[in-house]
A and B are shown apart, each in its own frame.
Chain A
Amino acid sequence: MGRYIIHRLVSMMLTLFFIITITFLLMHAIPGGPFTRERPLPEAIIKALNEKYHLDDPIWKQYLDYWKDILRGDLGPSFQLANRTVNELIADGFPITARLGIVSIIFTVLVGVPMGIISALRQGKWEDYTTMFIATLGVTIPSFVLATIVIYLLGVVFKIFPVSSGSLTRPVQYVLPVIALSGYSLSFIARLMRSSMLDVIRQDYIRTARAKGLTEFKVIYKHALKNAIIPVITYLGPLAAGLLTGSFVIEKLFSIPGMGEYFVNSVGNRDYTMIMGSTIFYSVILVVMNFIVDIIYVIVDPRIKLIGTKEG
């Protein structure tokens, strides 16, 4: 296991290296720059700005300089929000986004997994149909529509919840964004859970467990769930990375000052340092999450071996 972890860490570093390099090159390859304006800036100003941000250096030098900076943990100044560094912006937005993300992940798992289990155990009964109907609605209504309608109905018409969630200081501000943010993933998890649960409860060892006279709860909890939850865990890796770093649509619609908007806005504004900063931040969380997922595989199902090839 120790060797595996070292291998894995090295390959994670390489992954990040490729992501950074590819993003850097793509970003400079697309048209437009941070100083593209409807009213083009005078050349001398562009020149001065390029000098200030070292955009007049050859691209390879910018690339190497960028590495020097990030190895020191410095993501550089933002172009879009003058006078602010990318580190500062992420440090400011991430805690808010992460709070919402964690609540959403917990909500998704706590609701999605039981929903899947219920509908699998009661396959073809009303519980199954109800939960799966809800789950289907969750994926078919796009989050921007769901969010807008929920804001209008619960915020404007019935005035139960605040329309803009702000920095999420009160619990009540979480409700609407969490619902809108979790819709799709919750449905996905419920369906995955139902499906793999159905696979598992028909397996011989479950029959054996039942035959031994174990209680149904024990059968489900101790034997079935362990194997059935693998696809859910798989999906949770990228999902957690996504939720922790926020959603553009949800943060925009609920006016949450998190970091989710940076992923889209930075590209729109050609805010080079922010494009890189947000990408690196997301990627680090992503590779770590996927690493954790693989470790959880082994813990949940000891038969899974990540090391060694299958030639024998």
Chain B
Amino acid sequence: MTKKISILLVCMLLVVTLFTACSSSSSDNKPITYNMGANPKTLDPQLNNAVEAGSVIVHCFEGLTRKDQNGQIQPGIAKEWKMNEDGTKFTFYLRDAKWSDGKPVTAHDFVYAWRRAVDPATGAEYAYQLWYIKNGQAITEGKMSPEELGVKAIDDKTLEVELEAPCSYFLQLTAFPTLFPVRQDIIEKYGEEWANKPETYITNGPMVLAEYSLNDKIVLKKSDTYWNKDAIKAKELVFTMIDDPASELSAFEAGEIDFADAVPAEEIPRLKEEGKVTIKPSLGTYFFCLNVEKPPLNDVRVRKALALAIDRQYIIDNAAKNFALPAYAWVPPGMPDAEKGSDFREVGGNYIGEDYQKNVEEARKLLAEAGYPNGQGFPELTLLYNSEGGHKTIAEAVQEMWKNNLGINVKLDSQEWAVFQETRTQGNYEIARHGWLGDYVDPMTMLDMWHSKSGQNDARWKNSEYDRLIELAKKSGDQKKRMEAMHKAEKILMTEMPIIPVYYYTDVYLINPKIKGFYYDPLGFKVFLYATKE
């Protein structure tokens, strides 16, 4: 009898485990699918703070201008514009464009959106993207009312913008999501929830929201009210929300998604060999921040010794595995210099030598000069990193380099992201991992964070000459003068070395080879408007 029971039960087990069904999914006839990762905080252009949601927004909205595949500014809702002589006033002439509910796009929509962005009550995290506009910063800081922003609608189709100072990249900013127009009547009627549902998400861009399934997917469909709809090739786009990099890679390899950009670092070398992965430089720098208030880091020789004793190429090849470029200076390549077609990085050159052995010798010399020959008597510092992501391996590699080359011991400590950010901002650390991605294509996006009054100056480093040069570059309309000042500023930064640049970030992504016509905005937005799948 026992046997019978057990046979019965084994059968039950088999039935349950064999509960399988056949399914094969091929993505070939499905719409283009891009995995955006976690559910975005919001799709509201002004409230958005993330590049992934930014990718959705650039498909659904259009600003005064639009960036093309080469990163060049093209007319968007504004069909033309003119600038006054000293570069502080712009007048935009709007074309006849329509919102997705058929109403015309007017200059008032821009005025409303921009005032909304700088108004502190909105809580827009990217408000500072509008601080180039007259009174923008004062409004966000609560010193003025939003109505005093330097923007006005002359009539329905003419927009006049007054700037604080000449800004060579202002046109670029008008293609940034925070400056996209939104509808006052919609937002006042539905509140912030307007961005959650297809029915209320009224947009003026090439695509419209067709479906929003929380934590699952966002579906966009081609808009039939967009002014240039014939140029748009994509009919339907799906943005999925697979949050784990390993699963994302599996989904890509199984053909469930066409585009993945959170590739696990360990798999990049293999995927590169197989020719599946695309690697593009992006505008950002991975670095270590030194708290210059903590001895012995207040000694510039110590800071330089630490910076010189790092083998950047080794870190890229073995710890980060992202095929990034070693950073021998602060501003990443890809930022234009004064001459047309020239690159700020190329003009400025390297501030740290590329010869590692020579660097190490110099580092030893500097450390001895600072009073720590062979690291003797050097206090045990702590290198802090956040536990998410691959920072641990990089920290371990650096720890070993400092130990072997300089004879100094560093302790490693990791913290959870929110705790880590607070520790770093408050300066309760000695050495901390850091990374910075540019918000616009100009060296200033990297350089102004080390101004002594900047909120991001976690190194707590102060240099009055540096401050003066940054302020000069911000006020000047003359590209040549600006660039000169910024090169000088970078040189000071790299001589004083409050930060240790390690590598310039890259974007690593997988794309279905059948997709043609995709392009990548340097700021990280993925654009599928002209993409097709064959």
Let me know if chains A and B touch directly in the complex, using CB atoms closer than 8 Å: yes
Binding site for B on A (CB under 8 A): 30-33, 36-45, 47-49, 52, 80-84, 89, 92-93, 107, 110-111, 114-115, 117-118, 121-122, 127, 148, 151-152, 155-156, 159-164, 166-167, 170-172, 175, 215-217, 220, 252-255, 257-258, 261, 265, 268-270
CA distance A36 to B419 in the complex (A): 9
Name the CB-closest residue of A to B194.
Answer: A83
Report whether A255 and B247 are in contact in the complex, using a CB–CB cutoff of 8 Å.
yes
A114→B12 contact, CB < 8 A: yes
Interface membership of B111, Cβ < 8 A = no
Tell whether, in the assembled complex, residue B216 and residue A166 are in contact, meaning their CB atoms are under 8 Å apart: yes
CB-nearest residue of chain A relative to B416?
A268
Max chain A C-beta neighbours (<10 A), residue from B39, B122, B140, B247: B247
A contact residues around B84 at 8 Å (CB): none
Which residues of chain A are within 8 angstroms of B10 by Cβ–Cβ distance?
118, 127
Q: Are B125 and A37 in contact (CB under 8 A)?
A: yes
Beta-carbon contact of B23 and A89 below 8 Å: no
Docked complex Cα distance between A163 and B141 (Å): 48
Which residues of A have CB within 8 Å of B128?
Answer: 42
Q: Are B196 and A257 in contact (CB under 8 A)?
A: no
A44–B142 CB distance below 8 A: yes
Which residue on chain A has the smallest CB distance to residue B417? A268
Contact B13 A114 (CB under 8 A): yes
A-B contact pairs, 25 of them (CB 8 A): A36-B421, A36-B422, A39-B125, A39-B455, A45-B120, A45-B127, A48-B120, A81-B41, A82-B192, A83-B194, A84-B196, A107-B16, A122-B2, A122-B6, A156-B254, A160-B22, A163-B247, A163-B251, A167-B213, A170-B21, A252-B244, A255-B216, A258-B215, A268-B417, A268-B418
Asked if B42 is at the interface (CB within 8 A of a chain A CB), the reply is: yes
Q: Are A121 and B6 in contact (CB under 8 A)?
A: yes
CA distance A89 to B193 in the complex (A): 13
**CB proximity of B438 to chain A, nearest CB, Å:** 12
* Residues on B with beta carbons closer than 8 Å to the beta carbon of A115: 9, 13
* Measured CA separation A47–B140 after assembly (Å): 11
A-B residue pairs, 10 tightest by C-beta: A32-B418, A257-B215, A216-B1, A44-B142, A83-B192, A114-B9, A44-B120, A257-B216, A82-B42, A48-B120
Closest residue of A by beta carbon distance from B138: A44
Inter-subunit contact A160/B20 (CB<8 Å): yes
Whether the Cβ atoms of B214 and A257 lie closer than 8 Å is yes
Is there a chain A Cβ closer than 8 Å to B253's Cβ?
yes
Task: Return the contact of B127 from the options A42, A155, A170, A215 (Cβ within 8 A).
Answer: A42
Residues of B within 8 A of A41 (CB): 125
Q: Which of chain A's residues has its CB closest to B255's CB? A: A159
Chain A residues, Cβ within 8 Å of B254 = 155-156, 159, 162-163
Is the beta-carbon distance between B140 and A42 smaller than 8 angstroms?
Answer: yes
Q: Would B141 and A44 count as touching, CB distance under 8 A?
A: yes
Select from chain A the residue with minimum beta-carbon distance to B137.
Answer: A42
Contact assessment for B247 and A148 in the assembled complex, using a CB-CB cutoff below 8 Å: yes
Residues of B within 8 A of A (CB): 1-2, 5-6, 9-10, 12-13, 16-17, 19-25, 38-39, 41-42, 44, 47, 49, 120-125, 127-128, 140-142, 191-196, 213-217, 240-244, 246-247, 250-251, 253-254, 256, 416-419, 421-423, 425, 455-456
Expressed in whole angstroms, the Cα–Cα distance for A217 and B1 within the complex equals: 7
- CB distance B193 to A171 under 8 Å? no
Distance in Å: Cβ of B524 to nearest Cβ of chain A = 15
B-side contacts of A175, CB under 8 Å = 19-21
CB of B447 to closest CB in A, whole Å: 15
A151's partner among B124, B217, B247 (CB-CB below 8 A) is B247
Partner of B191, one of A42, A83, A152, A270: A83
Q: With A82-B41, A82-B42, A162-B23 in contact, is A253–B9 under 8 Å at CB? A: no
Instruction: Report the number of A-B residue pairs with Cβ-Cβ less than 8 Å.
Output: 185
Q: Is the CB of B250 within 8 A of A152?
A: yes
For B25, the chain A residues whose CB sits under 8 A away are 159, 162
Assess the A83–B455 pair: CB atoms within 8 A. no
Chain B residues with Cβ under 8 A from A161's Cβ? 20, 23
Would you give the shortest CB distance from A292 to chain B, in whole angstroms? 25
Instruction: Apart from A82-B44, A117-B9, list 14 A-B contacts with CB within 8 A.
Output: A30-B419, A31-B418, A37-B421, A42-B128, A45-B140, A48-B121, A52-B121, A118-B5, A151-B246, A161-B20, A215-B1, A255-B244, A255-B251, A268-B416
Q: Roughly how many angstroms separate A33 CA and B214 CA in the complex, as a whole number?
A: 24
The answer, among B21, B216, B247, for a CB contact under 8 Å with A172, is B21
Q: How far is the CB of A14 from chain B (nearest CB, A)?
A: 31
Q: Which residues of B lie under 8 Å from residue A155 when comparing CB positions?
A: 250, 254
Q: With A36-B422, A151-B250, A163-B256 known to touch, is A43 a contact of B141 (CB < 8 Å)?
A: yes
> Is A48's CB under 8 angstroms from B192's CB?
no
A49 proximity list for chain B (CB < 8 A):
123
Report the separation of the CA atoms of residues A265 and B2 in the bound assembly, to the nearest whole angstrom: 49
Least CB distance, A164 to chain B, in whole angstroms: 5
Q: Most chain-A CB neighbours within 10 Å: which of B38, B140, B216? A: B216
CB distance from A271 to the nearest CB of B (A): 10
- Of chain A, the residue at the smallest CB distance from B388 is A268
Contact A164 to B240, CB < 8 A, known contacts A83-B196, A107-B16, A121-B5: yes
- Cα–Cα distance between A269 and B50 once the two chains are bound (Å): 14
Distance A49 CA – B125 CA, assembled complex (angstroms):
11
Which residues of B sit under 8 angstroms from A111, Cβ to Cβ?
12-13, 16-17
Among B23, B25, B195, B425, the one with the most A-chain Cβ atoms within 10 Å of its Cβ is B23
Report whether A31 and B419 are in contact in the complex, using a CB–CB cutoff of 8 Å. yes
Bound Cα distance A31, B426 (Å): 11
